[in-house]
Structure 1
């Protein structure tokens, strides 16, 4: 593989935090809010949507599954395309796909049509994940990367709160057969507006370099230095130029970066199984154990969302202050311990808040740890594959935990703790043999 020496990446990391970086992070990071909005809004309006379309319980479940299947394909396909054709082209296409899919869902008049539109929605949102995180990790200066990734991940909880409140408002003020349609129409219009926020965003200079477009990368970095009066640093890094196929990318990931990929798989597994597992057994299993009525479920979800938001913000700073290794290991261990509190705690609301404050914050350190360790020429492909692993795990976790609960309540809670054990062991092993990426450039890590 050919290599070149350039000072462009070092100059990117030398930039101070600017208004450009703020706009950049908001325009791309808002994807997490959209993702959460999409997941939660479906849960809120699923019953009324199913009733309006005359769907059976089995058919209704496919409204969720078709979205997740679309996200699986989207993450893998657009992950590779983002490495081949660039981040900017892909995060425009994926956002437009998501906007189109969710908007058209509001006009669905049959099971088959609804399934198609939910699949398109997932295709777009799943594809967003790889391109967005690759661009952010490659553009944000290394000393800010951990907290920025952590903050963006924590913003998921804002989307969750927003979806809960939107759904409650629409269902309270409109007939059921119209409320769910307006929920999806609103989501589609919101996503379309975000397209305009992304018009100013340049291509990732690191991706441009990896494809040999040195002059274009130089032009982008030079314009930022001029605008914010930054003196260029004189330090060169060696960058690989990659011209291989998808097969070549996967071969490199599974050989040269095998250990990192296994670490990322464990983290992706833990994030999705614990989240989707918990939000499934909370209303279906845990509330029954505490003899709570259905009307208390939205309140508990809001407790969880606010707890996760606050915890994620705290951890996003700890990731850059203490480092990825110690932060990830401690958070996974505490989450594993706190999950067992549902076996004996008498105050469900406090327990949900404390658990979510710690457990929901895990993603803020885990995602950056799993995604920053690859070179730019195959980062989006690796992230796409890891996203597929996580989504599949997230699909399997709810039926596993609910099945265990039918045997005995404590088994479902112990199952949740086991999922956390995977993440703890991954970070524990990584802390012994892996790289501490705190404050280091992408080139130093990869």
Structure 2
């Protein structure tokens, strides 16, 4: 059964649970995890895109909200990201302490409440406050959910599943873009009501996700370390029985055993020593990937609607159609390229998608600066850039969730997300809102070049520092701190 060899005196267990999880064939159980956990990125994409798409409408006199376009795309966007960074750190700590399942239910509830209150905004300060709190809930989701995904999905599928789930953000972005077209149609809804309904839809979708997510289990790997080995064994037994019934043949035997000493919560000091002392190259890689993708995306997406309106005279109510095209390209990137991260390998794919997307954005900036693009061709250029960038950005989450020891996983995800995204996601909107909102072509070109340069730089870091994690168990990529008879620590 996997050997629940726990002894009360030492708290030591010998188990096959990690190896049993990794050898499972793909099943309905895995699809349930994908649907239950992956849908939050759809909500995040819906949130960010709705705000970007309705920015011009919110700043109009009859919107019912006294706010400027720059405040929506600059201040509100920065506060949303600040909330996400804060929430990631706050909930990341709790996720390692209290478990993945408990926290991904709490964080979704925070998101739902804050989004509902955003729809009721009557002044700029209220709108800012609940954009921050919405981000606070979403940030917590990143740590809890990426931890659970990597710990539940078999190693040979982990790369592509993680990328597609993170890339599903853009399904929400596409839906948000099209939703904004309907919500901003004044023939259907009054100007002060349509944008509120757009936020309200996020609440409805979130409630559906909450119902589905209740059935997603706790991570057996987390349970093993936190004194719940019998529960972990029972869970894996149940999953295996279901797969055997569906397949009509037994699963192959597992011989790989690990012995761990169960422990409590890992302190911040030990996390810092482990991540930065034991894995300095990996820490550098994580920061570079998150900063690069955050700046590239902020260079394009937060000012997208304003760029179309100011430079190409596109009506504010129709920018959603253009963004839907970009969102489709973003989703197709992880969907079509994800499997190569498991077959060709992490290093060539991470480095390749980062560097190529940066170079393509440099090319787009040059064409835009020369006046060679219209709204349609500009959108198509962005679509191609983000096809590769989206796969790269999704791989940043995959990378930091699999290259550090399990006891530090959620907090590591939270830290790299918070630091990298704060650098690009808070300063980015503030800087890019001014550059893209000025109406000066050369300043918008500068915004694109900043994002492109940092993306290429991150790709070069990946050339040297990326870890060949494809097809490997999490325990072989980074030795758990709880493992008995520890091997010498890996440096890098």
Structure 1 and Structure 2 fold alike (TM over 0.5): yes
Contact 1:83–1:378 (Cα < 8 Å) also in 2: yes
Structure 1, unpaired ranges of 5+: none
CA distance in structure 2 between the aligned counterparts of 1:93 and 1:110, rounded to whole angstroms: 27
CA distance in structure 2 between the aligned counterparts of 1:397 and 1:110, rounded to whole angstroms: 24
CA distance in structure 2 between the aligned counterparts of 1:104 and 1:424, rounded to whole angstroms: 40
CA distance in structure 1 between the aligned counterparts of 2:435 and 2:69, rounded to whole angstroms: 21
CA distance in structure 1 between the aligned counterparts of 2:12 and 2:309, rounded to whole angstroms: 58
TM value normalised by structure 2? 0.84
Q: CA deviation at 1:220?
A: 0.7
CA 1:325–1:168 in structure 2 vs 1: closer, same or farther (change >3 Å)?
A: same
SS of the equivalent of 1:438 reads coil
Moved more, 28-37 or 47-56: 47-56
Q: CA deviation at 1:294?
A: 4.4
1:42 — aligned with what?
51
CA 1:115–1:428 in structure 2 vs 1: closer, same or farther (change >3 Å)?
A: same
After TM superposition, the structure 1 = structure 2 runs for residues 288-307 of structure 1, keeping only pairs within 5 Å, are 291-294=312-315, 297-307=319-329
1:418 — aligned with what?
453
Moved more, 412-421 or 188-197: 412-421
After TM superposition, the structure 1 = structure 2 runs for residues 25-64 of structure 1, keeping only pairs within 5 Å, are 25-50=34-59, 51-56=63-68, 60=72, 61-64=74-77
Q: CA deviation at 1:276?
A: 1.3
1:195 — aligned with what?
210
CA distance in structure 2 between the aligned counterparts of 1:84 and 1:387, rounded to whole angstroms: 19
CA distance in structure 2 between the aligned counterparts of 1:195 and 1:413, rounded to whole angstroms: 37
Does residue 352 of the first structure (1) align with residue 382 of the second (2)?
yes
Q: CA deviation at 1:359?
A: 2.1
Equivalent residues, number: 442
Per-residue deviation, residues 10-66 of structure 1 (Å, max 9, x unmatched): 011111111010011111011111111111111222344454122355654433333
SS of the equivalent of 2:14 reads strand
Does residue 374 of the first structure (1) align with residue 420 of the second (2)?
no
Partner of residue 223 from structure 1, selected from 232, 235, 238: 238
Moved more, 414-423 or 260-269: 414-423
Partner of residue 89 from structure 1, selected from 78, 102, 105: 102
CA distance in structure 1 between the aligned counterparts of 2:447 and 2:134, rounded to whole angstroms: 31
After TM superposition, the structure 1 = structure 2 runs for residues 47-446 of structure 1, keeping only pairs within 5 Å, are 47-50=56-59, 51-56=63-68, 60=72, 61-172=74-185, 173-229=188-244, 230-231=250-251, 232-239=253-260, 241-243=262-264, 244-280=266-302, 282-284=304-306, 291-294=312-315, 297-342=319-364, 343-344=366-367, 346=373, 347-392=377-422, 393-401=424-432, 410-431=445-466, 435-446=467-478
TM value normalised by structure 1? 0.92
CA distance in structure 2 between the aligned counterparts of 1:213 and 1:55, rounded to whole angstroms: 51
CA 1:119–1:400 in structure 2 vs 1: closer, same or farther (change >3 Å)?
A: closer
Per-residue deviation, residues 254-288 of structure 1 (Å, max 9, x unmatched): 22233212211111111211111122454555886
CA distance in structure 1 between the aligned counterparts of 2:336 and 2:104, rounded to whole angstroms: 28
CA 1:301–1:147 in structure 2 vs 1: closer, same or farther (change >3 Å)?
A: same
Q: CA deviation at 1:320?
A: 0.9
SS of the equivalent of 1:5 reads strand
CA distance in structure 2 between the aligned counterparts of 1:116 and 1:91, rounded to whole angstroms: 22
Contact 1:88–1:202 (Cα < 8 Å) also in 2: yes
Contact 2:52–2:303 (Cα < 8 Å) also in 1: no
Partner of residue 7 from structure 1, selected from 8, 16, 23: 16
Contact 1:81–1:90 (Cα < 8 Å) also in 2: yes
Contact 1:104–1:185 (Cα < 8 Å) also in 2: no
CA distance in structure 2 between the aligned counterparts of 1:292 and 1:181, rounded to whole angstroms: 25
The root-mean-square deviation of aligned C-alpha atoms, in Å, is: 2.4
Per-residue deviation, residues 321-342 of structure 1 (Å, max 9, x unmatched): 2111111111122112211222
SS of the equivalent of 2:227 reads coil
CA distance in structure 2 between the aligned counterparts of 1:145 and 1:112, rounded to whole angstroms: 42
CA distance in structure 2 between the aligned counterparts of 1:64 and 1:16, rounded to whole angstroms: 41
CA distance in structure 2 between the aligned counterparts of 1:408 and 1:114, rounded to whole angstroms: 28
SS of the equivalent of 1:177 reads coil
Structure 2, unpaired ranges of 5+: 1-9, 245-249, 479-492
CA distance in structure 2 between the aligned counterparts of 1:64 and 1:400, rounded to whole angstroms: 12
CA 1:178–1:328 in structure 2 vs 1: closer, same or farther (change >3 Å)?
A: same
CA 1:399–1:118 in structure 2 vs 1: closer, same or farther (change >3 Å)?
A: closer
CA distance in structure 1 between the aligned counterparts of 2:354 and 2:128, rounded to whole angstroms: 36
Q: CA deviation at 1:178?
A: 0.8
CA distance in structure 1 between the aligned counterparts of 2:86 and 2:53, rounded to whole angstroms: 25
